[in-house]
Amino acid sequence: MGLLAVLPIAIAFVIGAMITKSLDPSQAVVLSSIPWIEVKGLSVPFELRIDTLSMTMVLIITGIGALIHLYATGYMSEEKDYSRFFAYLNLFIAAMLVLVLGNNLLMLFIGWEGVGLCSYLLIGFWYEDITNAKAANKAFIVNRIGDWGLTLGLLLIATLIATSPAVQGETRLFSYDVIFAYLPKILVMNPGVATAAALLLFVGACGKSAQFPLYLWLPDAMAGPTPVSALIHAATMVTSGVVLMNRMSLVFESSAVASAVVCAVGAFTALFAAIIAFGQTDIKKVLAYSTVSQLGLMFVACGAGAYWVGIFHVTTHAFFKALLFLGSGAVIHAMAHEQDMRNYGKLAKYLPITFGTMMIGYLSISGIPFFSGFYSKEEVLGSALAGDFATVGAFEVGKLSGWICLVVPALTAMYMTRMMWLTFFGGVEQWRKIEPNHVDDHDHHHLDAEHKPHEVPFSMYFPLIVLAVLSAAGGWYLSQGGRFEHWLLASQVGPKIAPPTHPEGIPLMALSVGAAVLGILAGVAVYIKGLPAKEGWDESKWSKFRLRARDQFGYDRLMVNSVTVDSASLSTSVNTGFDHAVIEGMGEGAGNVTSWLGGIFNSVQTGLVRMYASIMLIGVVVLLLWVVVSAGGGR
Amino acid sequence: MMVSLAIWLPILAGFLLLGFGRSLGSLAKSAASILMLGVLGVSVGLLAKFDSAAKGFQFSEKVDWIRSLGTSYSLGLDGISIWMFVLTAFLGLVAVLVSKPKERAGQFFGQILVLSGVLLGVFAALDLVLFYIFFELSLVPVAMLILGWGRGDRKRAATRYLAMLFGGSLLMLLAIIAVGVQYSAVTRTASMSIVDIQSVVASGKLWAGKEQLENLAFWGFLLAFLIKSPAVPGHSWLASTYESAPVGATIAGVVLKVGTYGLFRFCLPLFPHAAAANASFVTFLGVLGILYGGILAINQKNIFRVMVFSTISHVGFILIGLFSFSHVGMVGAAFQQFNHGLASAAVFVLLSFLMERGFTGEFSELGGLKRTMPVFASLFMIAMLANLGLPLTSGFVGEILAMMGSFESGYANVLGLNVGYAVAAGAGAILSASYMLYAYQRMFYGEAKSGESKDLNLNEMLIGGVFAAAIMVGGILPTFILQRMDQSVAVTGSAVKPNSGTTWAEGGGEIDASRIYAASSQGEFK
């Protein structure tokens, strides 16, 4: 059963690898199939684009996907709805592949909505808990806000091409090759429209990639099973926004304002989410905010014009964040589904493989030299600090974002240290206090009599080891001789020159390594003895700042209240105040008038037939009048 | 002849059932379903023979009727109406199959058959008087079904249904008369055939110097069709009808968009100046409907009322696509009109299964059905996805094309249209996700409330499965449908351009399917 789910993904990975190997980076291949939407003036075929960008994403999706599927066969082995889970998960992989492989914006949109649907289904996988349903709804609806922007953006692009006098007889208005051929010139002539198009696409990217102000669905999405969090809500789906900005880089390139907005939003999100992570006690929530924060870094790179760096960080992030999530899944598995880190402690000796691999992921995300995260983070910071791409007037938004992002790695290193120490080290084995009633419904493995946690089975630790190897060495391998840069730039439209990633006069390496080490040291200093009293169960002892951070500084509550409560009350008040009173009144009035008319013919029995007859009578009278008039006048 | 056969067979059989149905007992349902299956076969046969390149009406039938009025028994189908024709036959069959009336079954199925036949007539009629008669007659069986087999305050629902729709169509009757009088004044002959009338319109003669009259007549049709569709604020009949009508009647007679079809067939080709002059207003109504319906659907207390406002929202998309006068937008409207019938009928069919199990559709009594009825939950999910316009379901194609048309025309700033309309309409997708998912949550998530409900049986699965398959095929291979609409929509779209010379008569002027209403002509309406 499990093999049936894993094998197709693994085969897809092998095929993807073979295609990648034989691909000429300078040559994009377009495979066209049957038409999807075809009317006069518009044709949208099912078509695929094989180039370095799409194949990079294919390898990430199928490679990481196959590992996570394998892990899930172990993780979900006692789940009664095993087959439903894998059906959704495989559907997700298919939709994600359509998103990255499609050769037109509407196919991208198929994938875009498809992954959103799968995400919705998997967040609400344990459907008997109504809070899961609410988290699933929130994810879908907040994403739809982003889709609003994306839809308008792609319609604007198609309209620009359709109405351009330079374009004659072209009907494939959404296809990338057509867009690449015509759009740059059109945008140069309409800078205002270019900014509008870029910002609309960016709204879409913000929704899917969980950027401020639309990030708030992602932390709730952790309600889904942990493999889902690793695959969809860390490694693949949430990076769609970065893929979109890479695909449509020509639109963003043509607007400094939009690029500055991308940078600013990315930097703010990175910082904001990193701070919130300090207030979380649920291990998956820490990782969720960390994902939001890392996505912010990717956005900064794209805003700075270094689109390939965005994908580079997508790649290394896929390695170490999938690893960390799967590792956290192993911990949760061993802890009888307890997710609160305050209940962990000293697990390193019980879960040696999980501990060892997660340690690598931790060093990688913290940006310790020669681990994967180090290389991509370095490029992100460098591209923001070195370029002047996102500069509007005198405001060097790109550089400012770069400086903000230099703070983020220090914070990241620190909250990750907190997570690792609370889980694996510390003085007390807090989990010995976990009571049986913590165990919820869909759990079948309990802590046994001696309360001894078990290391996970092979199917679960094998993916951890592979991902640990990638997190350790993947970044180094890909950055050798600018391998990844040259590979990805081949897919970019226009001149294949990326902005510089090494600022002059700034000791970038020293600063970023310094930030990481500082963060780790600070973390160790605070958490070396395990859970400090002022972060413990007694929340009255928490510092005000940490309480506010846990609460997302009130943002989520504000938004959810204003949107759900206000829209509900708007809906209700319009419903009762206007629709019932005025509209229904009109209907009632019409009914009354006809009933009154019908009253003239008392002899007929029911009111309805009376009314019917009266109206028919009026009709006949009018018809007769007309016969008289037209006979007199017409002939 | 085949068109007439499809129309009159169910009407005659329906009357027979009304008269002698009592003696048939439980055979009535079998007889009705076999008959409707035959009607569906005939209509699919017509679809198979349909020539998608032809400009005019196909399968035409014409017999003189009242010579002094110029009225003829004139039928025919084009790429817009053939799909509504097939859908009507299909939904008629489905309505028979899913209905299990507790009393007077013969009469119930008789009413359904008459309703289906009359509606087939509505979609095939090419004569104004004939159309009017079918249009009026289609109201009667629905009202009878509400009165005889409905739920809740059925008398009030039936009264309101008749009052509002008759009221609207009276205005249309006046407009029809005005058109007829004007036609005979201009041509010195009498004809109520829309093919004849439109050819005079296209030459620019019919309304020359009579812009006021054209505008009034346009409004007569427009109001009747907006109420019928329904568009805000003419929708109050729909709420009471959905809540009170037996689900079979809703499927066979209410989900079909006769109103928007009327806009396509009459309002645009017969009154091109007036249609263009009022495009901005109707688009505004469409956007208003999308937002108003979407917002109100969120907080309803039962699923039928959610469907009321979802319908209004869908109709909004049809209106903005149609009145964008852009070819893609109009094709989108035609497609959405077809999809709406399909996708909302799918929901009603599934709801009828739920009502079989003793539910009323109130959310307070629903919940947790995903556990007790997993197959039902999956099918409902597909129907829901079509209603919220997910790509690769039939709901997406019409919506995105209508949006595209509206966006293009707004961007080009023709006919007083503005891109702001499209921007606002786009928010409909957020609202539709909100109300659909919220409804789904209340029906399917959480703990089961009312014990064990049996999942669908084989028959029910088959019917639900056919809808699910149709929704998917319509979303993955919409070109099969679009191809057969394309030419007819192009003719209608060209005919809207004033003095276009484009007519339905075969071999008429060159068909212009330019993407956007020619910007040069906008001066005419300013």
Query: Chain A closest CA to B247's CA: distance in Å?
Result: 21
Q: pLDDT band for position B503 (50/70/90)?
A: confident
Mean pLDDT lowest for which of A335-344, A415-424, A439-448, B72-81?
A439-448
The two three-digit tokens of residue B214, written as one number: 């054209």
Output the pLDDT for position A110: 96
Amino acid identity of residue A205, one-letter, is A
Report the C-alpha gap between A281 and A289 in whole angstroms.
Answer: 12
Amino acid identity of residue A49, one-letter, is R
pLDDT-above-90 percentage for chain A: 54
Cβ proximity of B92 and B148 under 8 Å: no
3-class SS of residue A34: strand
Mean pLDDT within A213-224: 91
Determine, for residues A128 and B446 on separate chains, whether the beta-carbon distance falls below 8 Å: yes
Residues contacting B318, CB < 8 A, separation 6+: B229, B257, B260, B286, B333, B336, B337, B340, B398, B402
pLDDT digits (tens, 9 = 90+) for B197-226: 998 998 888 898 888 999 999 999 999 999
Query: Chain B closest CA to A113's CA: distance in Å?
Result: 7
Query: Chain A closest CA to B34's CA: distance in Å?
Result: 31
Q: pLDDT band for position A630 (50/70/90)?
A: low
Cβ proximity of A383 and A501 under 8 Å: yes
Determine, for residues B160 and A37 on separate chains, whether the beta-carbon distance falls below 8 Å: no
Output the pLDDT for position A292: 95
User: Residue B335: which of B288, B248, B398, B284 has the closest Cα?
Assistant: B398
Interfacial A residues in 165-224 facing B (CB < 8 Å): none
From the candidates A40, A173, A635, which should be mutated to test the interface with B, based on the most B CB atoms within 10 A? Answer: A40
Whether the per-residue pLDDT at A582 is higher than 60: the answer is yes
Output the pLDDT for position A323: 95
Nearest to A587 among B155, B160, B516 (CB): B160
pLDDT digits (tens, 9 = 90+) for B339-368: 999 999 999 999 999 998 888 888 888 888
User: Residue A298: which of A252, A256, A267 has the closest Cα?
Assistant: A267
Chain B within 8 Å of A611 (Cβ-Cβ)?
Answer: yes
Tell me the chain A residues in contact with residue B371 when contact means C-beta distances shorter than 8 Å.
127-128
- For chain B, the average pLDDT equals 89
Query: Chain B closest CA to A403's CA: distance in Å?
Result: 36
Mean pLDDT lowest for which of A218-222, A358-362, A578-582?
A578-582
Determine, for residues B412 and A36 on separate chains, whether the beta-carbon distance falls below 8 Å: no
Report the C-alpha gap between B49 and B26 in whole angstroms.
Answer: 36
Tell me the chain B residues in contact with residue A623 when contact means C-beta distances shorter than 8 Å.
173, 177
Mean pLDDT within A136-164: 92
Mean pLDDT lowest for which of A375-389, A441-455, B156-170?
A441-455
Determine, for residues B407 and A156 on separate chains, whether the beta-carbon distance falls below 8 Å: yes
Mean pLDDT within B332-340: 95
Minimal-distance CA residue of chain B relative to A620: B173
Nearest to A162 among B184, B240, B408 (CB): B408
Report the C-alpha gap between A61 and B135 in whole angstroms.
Answer: 55
Report the C-alpha gap between B341 and A4 in whole angstroms.
Answer: 38
Whether the per-residue pLDDT at A450 is higher than 60: the answer is no
Output the pLDDT for position B320: 95
Its sign, for the CA torsion A195, A201, A204, A210, is negative
Tell me the chain A residues in contact with residue B485 when contact means C-beta distances shorter than 8 Å.
39
Report the C-alpha gap between B102 and B144 in whole angstroms.
Answer: 16
Cβ proximity of B255 and B313 under 8 Å: no
Q: pLDDT band for position A626 (50/70/90)?
A: low
Whether the per-residue pLDDT at A329 is higher than 50: the answer is yes
Report the C-alpha gap between B74 and B258 in whole angstroms.
Answer: 18
Mean pLDDT within A186-198: 92
Q: How far apart are the first and last CA of chain A?
A: 82
The two three-digit tokens of residue B377, written as one number: 């939950």
Query: Chain B closest CA to A144's CA: distance in Å?
Result: 5
Tell me the chain B residues in contact with residue A627 when contact means C-beta distances shorter than 8 Å.
68-69
Nearest to A159 among B163, B166, B411 (CB): B411
Instruction: Provide the β-strand partners of residue B77.
Output: B58
Query: Chain B closest CA to A157's CA: distance in Å?
Result: 11
Mean pLDDT lowest for which of A223-237, B77-91, B380-394, B439-453?
B439-453
Residues contacting B435, CB < 8 A, separation 6+: B294, B297, B298, B300, B306, B309, B310
Output the pLDDT for position A446: 53
Q: pLDDT band for position A548 (50/70/90)?
A: confident
Output the pLDDT for position A47: 95
Angle of helix B303-322 relative to helix B327-356, nearest 10 degrees, comes to 170
Whether the per-residue pLDDT at A602 is higher than 60: the answer is no
Q: Are strands A42-50 and A29-39 parallel, antiparallel or unpaired?
A: antiparallel
- For chain A, the average pLDDT equals 86
Report the C-alpha gap between A397 and B295 in whole angstroms.
Answer: 38
3-class SS of residue B25: coil
Interfacial A residues in 104-123 facing B (CB < 8 Å): 106, 109-110, 113-114, 117, 120
Tell me the chain B residues in contact with residue A109 when contact means C-beta distances shorter than 8 Å.
391
Determine, for residues A633 and B408 on separate chains, whether the beta-carbon distance falls below 8 Å: no
Chain B within 8 Å of A587 (Cβ-Cβ)?
Answer: yes
Residues contacting A359, CB < 8 A, separation 6+: A420
Output the pLDDT for position B448: 78
Size of interface A-B (CB pairs under 8 A): 225
What ipTM does this complex have?
0.93
Determine, for residues B426 and A151 on separate chains, whether the beta-carbon distance falls below 8 Å: yes
Determine, for residues B233 and A582 on separate chains, whether the beta-carbon distance falls below 8 Å: yes
Determine, for residues B296 and A571 on separate chains, whether the beta-carbon distance falls below 8 Å: yes
Output the pLDDT for position A438: 46
Tell me the chain B residues in contact with residue A615 when contact means C-beta distances shorter than 8 Å.
162, 166, 170
Tell me the chain A residues in contact with residue B477 when contact means C-beta distances shorter than 8 Å.
34, 36
The two three-digit tokens of residue A283, written as one number: 């291990």
Instruction: Provide the β-strand partners of residue A371.
Output: none
Chain B within 8 Å of A440 (Cβ-Cβ)?
Answer: no
Mean pLDDT within A436-458: 61
Q: pLDDT band for position A285 (50/70/90)?
A: very high
Whether the per-residue pLDDT at A299 is higher than 90: the answer is yes
Output the pLDDT for position A442: 47
User: Residue B429: which of A113, A568, A104, A570 has the closest Cα?
Assistant: A113
Mean pLDDT lowest for which of A138-152, A330-344, B297-311, B476-490?
A330-344
Residue that has been written with the tokens 């806000």 in this structure: A145
Mean pLDDT within B242-248: 91
Chain B within 8 Å of A561 (Cβ-Cβ)?
Answer: no
From the candidates B161, B223, B430, B520, which should be mutated to test the interface with A, based on the most A CB atoms within 10 A? Answer: B430
Whether the per-residue pLDDT at A570 is higher than 80: the answer is no
Cβ proximity of B65 and B72 under 8 Å: yes
Q: pLDDT band for position A276 (50/70/90)?
A: very high
Determine, for residues B163 and A587 on separate chains, whether the beta-carbon distance falls below 8 Å: yes
Mean pLDDT within A569-598: 73
Nearest to B170 among A586, A618, A634 (CB): A618
Output the pLDDT for position A364: 95
Output the pLDDT for position B19: 83
Chain B within 8 Å of A473 (Cβ-Cβ)?
Answer: no
User: Residue A255: which of A107, A397, A406, A53 has the closest Cα?
Assistant: A397
Q: pLDDT band for position B508 (50/70/90)?
A: low
Nearest to B479 among A38, A113, A144 (CB): A38
Our CA angle for B367, B368, B372, nearest 5°, is 125
Query: Chain B closest CA to A190's CA: distance in Å?
Result: 14
User: Residue A67: which of A458, A337, A373, A353 has the closest Cα?
Assistant: A458
Output the pLDDT for position B450: 66
3-class SS of residue A107: helix
Output the pLDDT for position A373: 93
pLDDT digits (tens, 9 = 90+) for B255-292: 889 999 999 999 999 999 999 999 999 999 999 999 99
In A18-86 the beta strands, taken as DSSP E runs, fall at: 29-39, 42-50
Report the C-alpha gap between B392 and B482 in whole angstroms.
Answer: 15
Determine, for residues B140 and A114 on separate chains, whether the beta-carbon distance falls below 8 Å: no
Tell me the chain A residues in contact with residue B328 when contact means C-beta distances shorter than 8 Å.
39, 41-42
Nearest to A590 among B164, B401, B515 (CB): B164
Mean pLDDT within B407-429: 88
Q: How far is CA A619 from the centre of its chain?
A: 60
User: Taking the CA atoms of chain A, what radius of gyration do you get in angstroms?
Assistant: 29
Chain B within 8 Å of A504 (Cβ-Cβ)?
Answer: no
Tell me the chain B residues in contact with residue A626 when contact means C-beta distances shorter than 8 Å.
177, 180-181
Cβ proximity of B294 and B313 under 8 Å: yes
Q: Which residue has the higher pLDDT, A150 or A26?
A: A150
Residues contacting B379, CB < 8 A, separation 6+: B346, B350, B456, B461, B464, B465, B467, B468
Mean pLDDT within B149-165: 88
Output the pLDDT for position B452: 65
Amino acid identity of residue B271, one-letter, is F
Whether the per-residue pLDDT at A627 is higher than 70: the answer is no
Nearest to A37 among B160, B412, B479 (CB): B479
How many helices and strands, by DSSP H and E, does chain B display?
Answer: 24, 2
Query: Chain B closest CA to A455's CA: distance in Å?
Result: 33
Query: Chain B closest CA to A46's CA: distance in Å?
Result: 10
User: Taking the CA atoms of chain B, what radius of gyration do you get in angstroms?
Assistant: 22
Determine, for residues A630 and B236 on separate chains, whether the beta-carbon distance falls below 8 Å: no
Report the C-alpha gap between A341 and A339 in whole angstroms.
Answer: 6
Determine, for residues B180 and A140 on separate chains, whether the beta-carbon distance falls below 8 Å: no
Our CA angle for B111, B116, B120, nearest 5°, is 150
Residue that has been written with the tokens 């809703």 in this structure: B250
From the candidates A123, A142, A155, A614, which should be mutated to test the interface with B, based on the most B CB atoms within 10 A? Answer: A155
Query: Chain A closest CA to B37's CA: distance in Å?
Result: 30
Peptide bond into A453 cis (omega under 30): no
